[in-house]
Amino acid sequence: MLLHVAIDHHRTSLEIEFYDVDDEVPESLAMTELVFFTQLARICTRTHVIPIEVCLTQLPTHLTKYEDFFGITLQKGDRVSIRFSRQDSERPFLTSNPTMWSFFEPHLRQNLTDLNENAPTHEKVKTILLESLPAGLSSIDDVAQRLALSKRTLQRLLEDEQTNFKTILDDTRQALAEHYLKQPSLSSGEISFLLGFQEVNSFSRAFKNWTGQTPNAYRHEYH
């Protein structure tokens, strides 16, 4: 596949070209690519981005479901493409910050390297949370999906290891929060986003429940 990107004053267009393909490209493959770009924009900007145009060479069977997802009417044409408005194209990726990434990347990479199929379930859950929290994906359903397990199966496996999802989530968030608060360049708002909280107040309340201190009081002990 080739991805052609065109940007003008009004929109950003992404067109997918399938080369050296004699047969018709499967409808599911083309649709998957367009869903991916849309969901990526929504997760990373924390905004319900709606494309201004979605075009396919074949319209899907369950058209209504896809139109509900994209928020617009799908068009049939001679290309596979998606277009976003200039306003949406210029939205910042809230989870993209080289300074913040440098703090937790080494630990995350090491965990991903060390993790294998024989690792305990709670370690797999922790590793997925380290990767997913900055994108706001912190529910047991999100993690179960990443592990290709049902929510119930994941709960049972964690019970067998004498723990549960909430405990792992809280422990992971607390450890990361304590690390981030020692970094003077990170604001409470940035730390809140990195831990997957929607609001700073939610992070502050959670941190006080974990440690008995407010984030600011904890930070003052180190600076």
Q: What is the mean pLDDT of the chain?
A: 86
Give 113's pLDDT tier (boundaries 50, 70, 90).
low
CATH code for the domain defined by 98-220: 1.10.10.60
- Measured distance CA(53)–CA(125) in Å, rounded: 37
Residue corresponding to tokens 């080289």: 98
pLDDT tens per residue across span 54-100:
999 888 888 999 999 999 999 999 899 999 999 999 888 775 555 55
Of 134, 130, 126, the closest CA to residue 96 belongs to 134
Q: Which residues make Cβ contacts (< 8 Å) with residue 201, sequence separation at least 6?
A: none
pTM listed for this prediction: 0.52
CB 218 within 8 A of CB 178: yes
- Measured distance CA(49)–CA(35) in Å, rounded: 12
Work out the percent of the chain whose per-residue pLDDT is above 90. 46
The residue extents of the domains of the chain are 2-89, 98-220
- Measured distance CA(196)–CA(190) in Å, rounded: 10
Give 24's pLDDT tier (boundaries 50, 70, 90).
confident
- Measured distance CA(205)–CA(110) in Å, rounded: 30
| Predicted local confidence at residue 137, as pLDDT | 82
Q: Is the pLDDT of residue 127 over 80?
A: yes
| Predicted local confidence at residue 215, as pLDDT | 93
| 64 three-class SS | helix
CB 96 within 8 A of CB 44: yes
Structure tokens at 153: 């199966």
| Predicted local confidence at residue 188, as pLDDT | 86
What is the Cα 130 distance to its own chain's centre? 11
pLDDT tens per residue across span 191-209:
888 898 888 999 999 999 9
Q: What is the mean pLDDT of residues 119-141?
A: 87
